[in-house]
Amino acid sequence: MNLKILSILLLFLQSNLLTSQTIKKLDGTILPAPMLTKKIDELMKASNVQGMAISVFNKNRSVYKKVFGYKRIDIKDTMLTNTNMYGASLSKAVFAVLVMKLIEVGKITLDKPLHTYLPKPIYEYGKGTSWNQDYTELKNDTLYKKITARMCLTHTSGFPNWRWQNPDEKIAVIYTPGERFNYSGEGLTYLQFILEKITARTLEQLMDEKIFKPLRMTKSAYTWRPDFESNYATGHASDNKLYEKDKDNAARSASTLETTLDDYTLFLDAMLQKKILKRSSYKEMFKTQYRIRTKAQFGPLSRNTVTTDFDPIQLGYGLGWGVIHTPNGIGAFKEGHGDGFQHYSILFPAKGIGILMMTNSDNGEKIFKELLTYSIGDTWTPWQWEGWGM
């Protein structure tokens, strides 16, 4: 039998095994897997979600793993569990685990100013080989010297989300580090730069050694690989138009993860089973490091509007993950959002329950709220703060 056909058959059989069970929700009620499949089909059709990949976790492992729709709708190319998908900010959750591993072996600490790890000022390293390695504009900026790894992981570094959002599109610290939450990809790539200099290894090398190979995540990388060409998802606009696939990104810890449903499910299995970090590291990572009291994660309401709306769930940030407090214990969440790709994951470690939803559609977030409630009984995710449906 042709090896490609055999591989597809094995994936199909594995998917059927994982979707033949029942799902236990957070409130203890049981959901038959076929009912969830039917619900997903209905929601996707109603909201024109072109493709979706989903895993549901019970007892610290995936019990439902299934794909729906198309990786490219114009040619009706069917999504597979090993189809490569752009991970967007799901990248940050994986990177946070890498950072914790390096902390465990003493390469870095959470609270030492990051610039002190370098033998010379960061602006003296030149422009690098990609824009995110260029810190020459920090020469006259003294605030960056306050930034620590904890601040980067909690989005309190003071950097904007990305430098091109500054009026002059140059890197600069816009808030005093440590004083306020401001979601920042720049903060994570700054931490990446420091780690690469400390270890004399690239992000890809560190990820392969510390995360991907130990977890057998063979189809994940922070840069595009030739073997992704034969099986990848194209991003879709809300009207089915295709986004051009970006394949020339430099590795960025905050945003360039390429992964699959199979691989990211392995990652979340490991998080629930506490496989690759010490228990003390998981405790620190999922602990509220900074309370958030803004009405939204992005936009004007993220800067100047204070609210008590999310006090009942004590919305905050841990290390690389958002954190909420619920009657079912801590909920640790991470979303991903880019042109044509919208994702969300949340874990409830005390219950061993969680979910991963990945879509290659600008319409994906339209169905997340209802799907969270229906599938695992999650009514605590702060969907208004996430901006779903707005």
Tens digits of residue pLDDT in 188-211: 999 999 999 999 999 999 999 999
C-alpha span between 82 and 362 (Å, rounded): 21
Write down the pLDDT at residue 11. 56
Q: Which amino acid is residue 199, in one-letter code?
A: T
**Residues 28, 58, 103, CA angle at the centre, nearest 5°?**
125
- CB-based contact 170:160 (threshold 8 Å): no
**Percent of all residues in the chain with a pLDDT value above 70, rounded to a whole number:** 94
Neighbours of 350 (CB within 10 A): 11
DSSP state of 233: P
* Residue 70, beta-bridge partner list: 78
CA dihedral sign of residues 315, 387, 302, 284: positive
Q: What is the mean pLDDT of residues 136-145?
A: 96
DSSP state of 141: -
Rounded mean pLDDT of the chain?
95
Question: How far is CA 298 from each of CA 119, 159, 183, 184, rounded to the nearest angstrom?
Answer: 36, 14, 8, 10
Residues 6+ apart with CB under 8 A from 366: 47, 49, 388, 389
- CB-based contact 13:65 (threshold 8 Å): no
Strands 51-58, 30-32: pairing kind: unpaired
Across the chain, the runs of DSSP E, i.e. the strands, are 22-24, 30-32, 51-58, 61-72, 77-78, 85-86, 258-259, 290-291, 316-317, 322-326, 329-338, 341-348, 353-359
Question: How far is CA 245 from each of CA 34, 82, 164, 271, 308, rounded to the nearest angstrom?
Answer: 33, 18, 21, 30, 40
Q: What is the mean pLDDT of residues 357-383?
A: 98
Residue found by looking up tokens 């190979």 in the block: 213
Tens digits of residue pLDDT in 16-61: 555 558 999 999 999 999 999 999 999 999 999 999 999 999 999 9
* Residue 23, beta-bridge partner list: 31
Q: What is the mean pLDDT of residues 227-251?
A: 96
Q: Grade residue 64 by pLDDT with cuts at 50, 70 and 90.
A: very high
- Cα pseudo-dihedral 324, 343, 78, 242, rounded to 10: 160
Write down the pLDDT at residue 13. 52
- CB-based contact 164:170 (threshold 8 Å): no
